[in-house]
């Protein structure tokens, strides 16, 4: 049975990284296309303003706590999830496992980035199978062709890196046409694998200050990041309401 925690109306799986990866491996054996979403506090706040996004997140077959803020929120609400399980860490583990039955299609990021990510990933994990790539700047008219390309590639895991909310909506709209068994929304991960963007050092990620690192590196995110204090305020409000 699925154990979930409600964070401002978004159901988050209470799961460890290993169990999340095991679940994804299980999805690969199923008949349907399953969805994996990785909301952080910013996305949960976006879902407060966008009911469609909230419904899509709640329809996910696996929805993990991507970020220290979500883990802290679960703890404040009294139902602490066991760990932060970020999208990039999930796919890193899937790449490292190099299961010969898994083949990936990388969809998203600027032209050239997915191909560069493919090259670097193959260098780092010689056993992995990347069935195809496509950039993320296409218009609706091209979509059917891109979906055909993904399906023809034979990939069973589709990594969708179109940025938060766009990727969840794209997956939801197209999952019935896709043959891949698992679609994962992975934000800016392809930029990281291509070496175009850097993750915060491990000790900063572990300490829960990745948001501060990103803010310093990408000050244009400042407006978006104002959602972080708003998120904590909403969580404290929800806790107070539950107590009464
Ligand atoms: N992106 C894309 N198509 C678009 C908009 C964005 O492929 O129409 C890509 C963008 O190039 C970047 C990723 O989506 O690689 C978004 O990265 P970001 O770090 O902003 O992710 P988020 O924090 O929004 O999940």
User: Ligand 1 test: best mutation among 45, 91, 107, 108, most atoms within 8 Å of CB?
Assistant: 108
Sign of CA dihedral 134, 140, 145, 151: positive
Compute, in angstroms, the gap from residue 43 CA to the centroid of ligand 1. Answer: 13
In what helix (H) or strand (E) does residue 34 lie, and over which residues does it extend? strand 34-37
Q: How many Å apart are CA 194 and CA 181, to the nearest integer?
A: 25
64 backbone dihedrals φ, ψ, rounded to 5°:
-105, 160
Interhelix angle 68-76/210-217, nearest 10 degrees: 140
In what helix (H) or strand (E) does residue 35 lie, and over which residues does it extend? strand 34-37
Compute, in angstroms, the gap from residue 133 CA to the centroid of ligand 1. Answer: 15
Residues constituting the chain: 244
Bridge partners, residue 13, by sequence: 4
Task: Specify the residue with its C-alpha closest to ligand 1, atom 8.
Answer: 137
The tens digit of pLDDT for each residue in 70-107 reads 999 999 999 999 999 999 999 999 999 878 889 999 99
Radius of gyration of the chain (CA): 17
> According to the model, what pLDDT value does residue 221 have?
79
* Cβ of 39 below 6 Å from ligand 1: no
C-alpha distance from residue 146 to each of 6, 8, 181, 197 (Å): 35, 35, 17, 25
Beta strands in 151-220 (DSSP E): 157-161, 182-185
For 124, other C-beta atoms within 10 Å of its C-beta total: 12
The tens digit of pLDDT for each residue in 176-191 reads 999 999 999 999 999 9
The tens digit of pLDDT for each residue in 147-204 reads 999 999 999 999 999 999 999 999 999 999 999 999 999 999 999 999 998 888 888 8
Q: Which atom of ligand 1 is nearest to the CA of 107?
A: 7
Q: What residue segments make up the domains of the chain, in order of their start? A: 4-196
In what helix (H) or strand (E) does residue 190 lie, and over which residues does it extend? helix 189-193
Q: What is the DSSP letter of 135?
A: -
* Cβ of 125 below 6 Å from ligand 1: no
How many contiguous H segments (helices) and E segments (strands) does the chain have? 13, 8
* Cβ of 224 below 6 Å from ligand 1: no
Helix (H, G, I), strand (E, B) or coil at 208: coil
Q: How many Å apart are CA 155 and CA 28, to the nearest integer?
A: 11
- Closest among 45, 35, 183, 181 to 108, alpha carbons compared: 183
Helix (H, G, I), strand (E, B) or coil at 244: coil
Q: How many Å apart are CA 40 and CA 94, to the nearest integer?
A: 20
pTM of the model: 0.94
Our CA dihedral for 49, 6, 165, 232, rounded to 10 degrees, sits at 60
> According to the model, what pLDDT value does residue 223 have?
79
C-alpha distance from residue 112 to each of 98, 115, 159, 183, 200 (Å): 24, 5, 16, 21, 23
Share of the chain above pLDDT 70, in %: 100
């Amino acid at each position: 049975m699925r154990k979930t925690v409600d964070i401002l109306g978004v159901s988050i799986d209470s799961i460890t990284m290993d169990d999340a990866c095991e679940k994804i491996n299980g999805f690969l054996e199923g008949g349907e296309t399953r969805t994996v979403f990785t909301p952080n506090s910013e996305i949960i706040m976006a879902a407060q303003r966008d009911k469609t996004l909230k419904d899509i997140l709640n329809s996910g077959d696996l929805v993990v706590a991507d970020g220290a803020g979500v883990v802290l929120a679960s703890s404040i609400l009294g139902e602490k999830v066991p760990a932060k399980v970020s999208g990039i860490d999930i796919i890193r583990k899937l790449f490292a496992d190099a299961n010969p039955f898994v083949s990936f299609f990388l969809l998203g990021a600027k032209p050239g980035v997915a191909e560069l990510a493919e090259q670097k990933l193959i260098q780092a994990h010689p056993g992995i199978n990347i069935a195809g790539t496509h950039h993320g700047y296409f218009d609706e008219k091209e979509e059917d062709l891109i979906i055909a390309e993904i399906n023809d590639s034979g990939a069973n895991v589709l990594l969708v890196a179109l940025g938060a909310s766009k990727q969840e909506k794209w997956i939801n709209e197209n999952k019935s046409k896709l043959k891949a068994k698992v679609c994962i929304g992975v934000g800016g991960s392809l930029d990281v694998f291509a070496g175009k963007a850097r993750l915060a050092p491990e000790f900063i990620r572990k300490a829960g200050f990745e948001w501060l690192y990103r803010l310093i590196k990408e000050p244009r995110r400042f407006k978006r990041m104002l959602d972080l204090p708003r998120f904590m305020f909403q969580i404290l409000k929800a806790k107070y309401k539950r107590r009464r």
